[in-house]
Amino acid sequence: MDRLSTAANGLTSAQVVGAKPNHVPRRSSRSLSAIVRANVFTLFNLVIGVLWALVLIFGEWQDSLFGLVIVANVLIGIIQELRAKRTLDKLAVINEAPVRVRRDGGERLVQPRQVVLGDLILLGPGDRLLVDGEVIESDGLEVDESLLTGEADPVHKQPGDEVLSGSFAVAGAGAFVATRVGTDAYAVKLAEEASKFHLAHSELREGVANFIKYITWLVIPIGALLIYSQLKHSADFGTAITGAVAGIVTMIPEGLVLMTSIAFAVGVVRLGRRKCLVQELPAIEGLARVDVLCLDKTGTLTAGGMDLDQVLPLRDGHPVEDALAALAHLDHSPNATAQAIRARYQNARDGWTAGETVPFSSARKWSGAHFGERGAWMLGAPDVLLDSGDAYDRAAELATTGARVLVLGRARALPAPQAAEERTKPDRAPIEAVALVTLKQRVRPDAQETLRYFAKQGVAVKVISGDNPTAVSAIATGLEIPDAHRSIDARDLPYDDEAKLGELLDSHTVFGRVSPRQKRQFVTALQARGHTVAMTGDGVNDVLALKDADLGIAMGAGSPATKAVAQVVLLDDKFATLPHVVGEGRRVLANIERVSNLFLTKTFYAIVLSLLVGVAGVMFPFAPRHSTLTNALTIGVPALFLALAPTFERSKPGFVPRVLRFAVPAGVLCAAAVLLSFWAAHSGTSTLVEDQTSAVITLFLTTWWVLVLIARPLNWWRIALVASMAAAFAIGLTIPFVRHFFALEPGDLSNDLTAVGISIVAAVMISVAVKVAGTLRT
């Protein structure tokens, strides 16, 4: 008894001081050491570092400029990821819902990391369980453990039962003593076993990783062939080494991973400025692929909270207001409906003491209590509690105005909550309808404009709600959502036929009386039809659907459980932020695809050039300093601008095939043009430096044309970008110091004009080849 009494009162302040705290690593970002390791210790850094050392030993220092790429990549990568980490961690702290605990006999709010072993934690609907524990108080407490066990039905918890972190309360109230905290908690152990730093699936990251993997395997044999060829056919050992290094370095897309990381990191920071927390970086990619947006009406289209409008008695002589006040004040953690009623009836009436109670849940859509001699009273959805009749018809008529309508009724006894299945009315004695209650919902002022944006962008909107379909339809129609007048009652939808369900979801927009389990089925059915689905929500009934959606978006004022499973959280609850969220995702993916085309064109022309040079046994046509110059002007500097540019293109699957269809033909033709220019110049009486200059002119002009093709559609700033790169190269050829530094001698007019002519022909061929390849499908 003493132990139970101590547990019921919670820990004392003195006991908290020495107790084990709930310290859990944040999942939103990597640690500083992990960021440094990931950016410093890479295979490409190792390869470039070795080549850099070889050039410094056997060549001229000007040819070692490419080594600065390592320093730049490392510094920029670390700085950008740390910047994103600071943003994520700062927003994650804002996003953390405080935990209600009882200490020193009183209730207080503490941060999740301030919970300690032995704390008495209080639960209400929507509360997420952060630690494991043992229940000591239960007032109809129901816990959803589906995220841990896969079992969708809530579990009734009684004193003495175990509760696990990762689950969440869906109905009732209760309290439990924390028995395992921090890394000892069940959910944290599961996460650690799965991954130290989990990232959602990303086609973009996966594609870039595959490019890197395959290119690495190609670099080894081709690099060895090139080194052998240059050493065998060159009289000067230093020239042979620098020639081989020039080919190998150019094969490595050293900036591709950097640009991908920068784009993701900048996306996180930009969204962070709009109070949007991206809990997993690849979620930004998901933003770009979304073509169906499922909206939960309450809290998304409508602002949080409601106002009690009318209380319409259906029979005289019943204590309607007393009963409403009593029911609204039963729950220790009132939902929006109870809060609206409490605002008018601020205190429960004397003599209304509840015995048996059934708390509200999204699946049941009603709550009730037995008040002794005053009888059993129930409050809930009319189409769930009532059979057809005058009261039912009047409730349906009121719902057409968009109001939320509830019925207050009396019954001989409360039905058992276990009998309240989703597709049937509760197993009960007939309910006597006593009054209808209407609540006004506050439509968000920015909802209509936001919905108009999605319509323009080709994103289909599905309004999914647990409310009456007629009421949902009325609100959706007022927001001018297409086909909103054709609503469907989800209780009439097929449960076992996913194909039929998918067809109905594609052809209709508004769905009412949707259960939490059905929301999850909706997401699965839409995904089965090839859609990329985003789901928004703020209530505990949205958790399962948010978890299964390709992109879960939670409102900042939503339940802790909802925010925990979502990949994106709108911390300021602004629905109008969603267009910026989707736009940021599209910007990242479209621009990374452009940048990938640039880097991999370079990689493929270097591979082809190295193979041809190695097999033919001729000198490599340019030195490392030449590739440093051309790569900086046609890839490095432009890529930085293109990776961060605004765009509204919706990303499509097939990132890797599309990049290959561009980069392979473009790279092959660039390599052929460069080698042809070098061969044409080398067969004359010009010097080696003049021959290499002709090859460099061809290399710049062909890769510059690739940049022009990738930068399309050309607007004023893109035209300025490509023009400035051409001007910089031309100026470099005319300034003696620059020419000397980069070993350029455009002195043989015949060779240089030949190089320009070959470049023009190659540019035309690249344009045709890329266009033809783009029409192919793999």
The residues annotated as belonging to the active site are 296
3-state DSSP: the chain helix, strand, coil percent, rounded to 5?
A: 55, 15, 30
Write the Ramachandran bin of 276: left for phi over 0, alpha for psi from -120 to 50, otherwise beta.
beta
Element (H, E) at 63: none
Count other C-beta atoms under 10 Å from residue 25's C-beta: 15
CA distance 340 to 426: 25
Dihedrals φ, ψ of 145, to 5°?
-110, 20
CA distance 532 to 505: 14
Strand partners, 357: 369
User: Quick one: which of 646, 631, 590, 601 has its CA closest to 728?
Assistant: 631
Query: Is there a contact between 624 and 631 (Cβ–Cβ < 8 Å)?
Result: no
Strand partners, 171: 142
CA distance 605 to 675: 10
Strand partners, 109: 100
Query: Is there a contact between 282 and 208 (Cβ–Cβ < 8 Å)?
Result: no
Query: Is there a contact between 426 and 384 (Cβ–Cβ < 8 Å)?
Result: yes
- Please give the structure tokens belonging to residue 679: 């061969």
How far, rounded to the nearest angstrom, does the alpha carbon of residue 688 sit from its chain's CA centroid? 53
CA distance 140 to 152: 18
Calculate the alpha carbon distances from 687 to 22, 24, 87, 591, 661 in Å: 72, 66, 56, 41, 38
Contacts of 684 (CB under 8 A, 6+ apart): 748, 750, 751
Full 3-state SS string of 12-33? CHHHHHHCCECCCCCCCCCCHH
CA distance 415 to 493: 25
CA distance 777 to 760: 28
- Please give the structure tokens belonging to residue 89: 């961690």
Measured torsion, CA atoms of residues 665, 671, 674, 678, in degrees rounded to the nearest 10:
-140
Cis peptide before 415 (omega within 30 of 0): no
Give 757's DSSP letter: H
- Please give the structure tokens belonging to residue 189: 């152990």
CA distance 55 to 182: 51
Strand partners, 491: none
How far, rounded to the nearest angstrom, does the alpha carbon of residue 640 sit from its chain's CA centroid? 23
Residue linked to tokens 């989707």: 582
User: Quick one: which of 606, 604, 586 has its CA closest to 596?
Assistant: 604
Dihedrals φ, ψ of 438, to 5°?
-115, 145
Q: How far apart are the first and last CA of the chain?
A: 72
Give 181's DSSP letter: -
Task: For the chain, state the CA radius of gyration.
Answer: 33
Count other C-beta atoms under 10 Å from residue 83's C-beta: 16
Element (H, E) at 445: none
Dihedrals φ, ψ of 328, to 5°?
-70, -30
Q: Is 277 helix (H, G, I), strand (E, B) or coil?
A: strand
Query: Is there a contact between 441 and 302 (Cβ–Cβ < 8 Å)?
Result: yes
CA distance 459 to 451: 9
